[in-house]
């Protein structure tokens, strides 16, 4: 027992304090910085104007993902195809020029390793347990699945990290989400995290860093942990964490940018010391019973608007506070749903399997397992599968998953953020519904007027087959 038991978050924080300030803030060292095309151009420009360099280009990795179309990137002769949207093309060209100009490793649009930053980081072994990781994107919380302290930042902070490799931060409060017992058969990490957000609400983690604890997370795959931590931000938390363990170590060993040799041994020893000490106190604690978690879908326009697939659309009057009642009325109006309507009778016209939440190999396997030997329903007009990276794509193709998707009538795309956000050509038409494995069901998120139902990859596949939101357990 240490004299002063600390949580995982406190251990990572303490290891990264450069200087404590009198006003309660600390200058924190940043170990890994991921850069994409949307939130970086003005940061690079500011450095250029001020004549400043990137302090540690070797701790920085640039990958385009948000604006890239997911259709073919090369023509039959192997030449780069132009990007139709002029503003997207300009942002992508800016990153392609800025990375080499500042000495930063750049994974380009047509490189095999290209993908969504939050898929590429762990996959390359760039993201590591105990590291501080930032990116100009709120879903940076994803990397917490490896036991890293990872969070999103704005453009001014991107500039600050590029120039100084530090951020001036106030220490967050700690929050434990402890899941007791075992998940039922067919219940996935996505169902669990949607359920958790439904319980704590989108402001439940505000001001806190969440540590996910319990046997469920110990038994969960790394892909599953990344999915859960990815959506910590939807619960209002600054970041989410799962303690690194033997699974984490096995996942990282041999990855291209992971430590090697003597450094690897030292890393493993340190990672094993990071788990929260017995007796460490959390500022807030929430306990969830795993047995309560059902295949979960969203009915509204906030990630906290969750309900079990066997449930019904709630009545706005069922909510205690007036502002939530009002929000629910507006949500139902936007979503075109009636209180009392059964969720498993809601028809969908679109299916999206992808995003930094659910585009890893395990997600694609889960979707393919449901789709194998089945066909997309006639009412589903558009169904796409977008792998999180070129390496995920290659792995899926080696396993023949692409053929399963194509034979079922789904499109097999190039890696990118795709239909998670309306920044590239993949959009859901106004008034239509989409069963989506992404992370946000906000108004207009998947395109103006688009109606999003957040689900797991297996549930998205089930919706593709039946044409409506469906309990995947009835298909297996």
Partner 1 sequence: MKAIKEISGKAYPFGRKNVDTDVVIPAHWLKTISREGLGKGCFETVRKEPGNVFEDEAYKGSPILIAGDNFGCGSSREHAAWALLDMGITAVIAPSYSDIFSGNAFKNGILAVALPQDAIDRLMEVAKTDPITIDLEHQTVTTPFQDRFTFEIDPFRKHCLLNGLDEVGLTMARNTAISSYEDKARDALPFLAKGIAA
Residue 319 binds partner 1 (CB under 8 A): no
Neighbours of 345 (CB within 10 A): 10
Q: Which range in 55-63, 197-205, 275-283, 344-352 contacts partner 1 by CB under 8 A?
A: 55-63
CA–CA dist 8, 92 (Å, integer): 37
Instruction: Determine which residue in the list 50, 77, 320, 322 makes contact with partner 1, applying CB under 8 A.
Output: 50
How many Cα atoms sit within 13 Å of 413 on the Cβ side? Answer: 26
CA–CA dist 74, 409 (Å, integer): 23
Q: Which range in 153-161, 298-306, 315-323, 462-470 contacts partner 1 by CB under 8 A?
A: 153-161
Q: Which range in 164-172, 237-245, 307-315, 459-467 contacts partner 1 by CB under 8 A?
A: 164-172
Number of residues that bind partner 1 (CB under 8 A): 49
CA–CA dist 399, 217 (Å, integer): 27
Residue 241 binds partner 1 (CB under 8 A): no
- For residue 176, the SS3 value is strand
Residue 170: Cβ-neighbour burial (10 angstroms; 0-12, 13-18, 19+): exposed
CB of residue 355 to partner 1, shortest distance in Å = 22
Report whether 453 contacts 436 (CB < 8 A).
yes
Q: Which range in 26-34, 68-76, 393-401, 409-417 contacts partner 1 by CB under 8 A?
A: 26-34
Residue 254 binds partner 1 (CB under 8 A): no
Taking residues 186 to 225 in sequence order and writing x for each that binds partner 1 by CB under 8 A, - otherwise, the string is: ----------------------------------------
The set of residues, in sequence order, having a beta carbon less than 8 Å from that of 22 and lying 6+ positions away, is none
Q: Under rule CB under 8 A, which residues in 74-133 are in contact with partner 1?
A: 87, 90-91, 94, 100, 103-106, 126, 128, 130-131
The set of residues, in sequence order, having a beta carbon less than 8 Å from that of 300 and lying 6+ positions away, is 327, 328, 331, 332, 335, 441
Q: Name the helix (H) or strand (E) containing 225.
A: helix 222-230
Residue 474 binds partner 1 (CB under 8 A): no
CB of residue 132 to partner 1, shortest distance in Å = 9
Tokens for 13? 């924080």
From residue 192, how far is each of 139, 183, 295 by CA, in Å? 17, 8, 8
CB of residue 397 to partner 1, shortest distance in Å = 27
Tokens for 259? 């430590």
Q: Can you give the binding site for partner 1, defined by CB under 8 A? A: 15, 18-19, 27, 29, 31, 41-42, 45-46, 49-50, 52, 55-59, 61, 87, 90-91, 94, 100, 103-106, 126, 128, 130-131, 154-156, 159-160, 163-166, 168, 257, 259, 263-264, 266-267, 270
């Amino acid at each position: 027992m240490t004299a002063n038991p600390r949580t995982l978050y406190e251990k990572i924080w303490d290891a990264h304090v450069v200087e404590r300030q009198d006003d309660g803030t600390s200058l924190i060292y940043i170990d890994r910085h991921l850069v994409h095309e949307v939130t970086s151009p003005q940061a690079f420009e500011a450095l250029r104007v001020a004549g400043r360099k990137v302090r540690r280009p070797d701790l920085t990795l640039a990958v385009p993902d948000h604006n890239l179309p997911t259709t073919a990137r090369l023509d039959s002769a192997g030449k780069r195809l132009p990007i139709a949207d002029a503003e997207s093309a300009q942002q992508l060209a800016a990153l392609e020029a800025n990375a080499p100009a500042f000495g930063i490793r750049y994974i380009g649009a047509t490189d095999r390793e290209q993908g969504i930053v939050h898929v590429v980081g762990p996959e390359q072994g760039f993201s590591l347990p105990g590291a501080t990781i930032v990116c100009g994107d709120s879903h940076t919380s994803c990397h917490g699945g490896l036991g890293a302290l990872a969070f999103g930042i704005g453009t001014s902070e991107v500039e600050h990290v590029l120039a100084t490799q530090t951020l001036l931060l106030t220490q967050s409060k700690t929050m434990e989400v402890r899941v007791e017992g075992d998940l039922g058969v067919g219940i996935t990490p996505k169902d669990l995290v949607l359920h958790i957000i439904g319980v704590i609400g989108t402001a439940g983690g505000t001001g806190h860093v969440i540590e996910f604890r319990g046997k469920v997370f110990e038994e969960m795959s790394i892909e599953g942990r990344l999915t859960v931590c990815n959506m910590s931000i939807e619960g209002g938390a600054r970041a989410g964490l799962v303690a690194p363990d033997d699974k984490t170590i096995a996942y990282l060993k041999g990855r291209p940018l992971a430590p090697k040799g003597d450094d690897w041994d030292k890393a493993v020893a340190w990672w094993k010391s990071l788990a929260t000490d017995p007796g460490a106190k959390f500022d807030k604690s929430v306990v969830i019973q795993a047995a309560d978690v059902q295949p979960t879908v969203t009915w509204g326009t906030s990630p906290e608007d969750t309900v079990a697939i066997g449930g019904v659309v709630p009545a706005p009057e069922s909510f205690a506070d007036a502002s939530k009642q009002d929000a629910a009325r507006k949500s139902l109006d936007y979503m075109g749903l009636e209180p009392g309507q059964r969720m498993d009778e809601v028809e969908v016209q679109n299916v999206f399997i992808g995003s930094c939440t659910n585009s890893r190999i395990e997600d694609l396997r889960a979707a393919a397992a449901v789709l194998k030997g089945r066909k997309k329903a006639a009412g589903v007009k558009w169904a796409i599968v977008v792998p999180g990276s070129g390496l995920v794509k290659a792995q899926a193709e080696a396993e023949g998953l692409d053929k399963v998707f194509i034979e079922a009538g789904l499109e097999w795309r190039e890696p990118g953020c795709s239909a998670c956000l309306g920044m590239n050509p993949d959009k859901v038409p106004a008034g239509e519904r989409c069963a989506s494995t992404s992370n946000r069901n906000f108004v207009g998120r998947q395109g103006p007027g688009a109606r999003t139902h957040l689900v797991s990859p297996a549930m998205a596949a089930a919706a593709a087959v039946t044409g409506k939101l469906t309990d995947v357990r009835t298909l297996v």
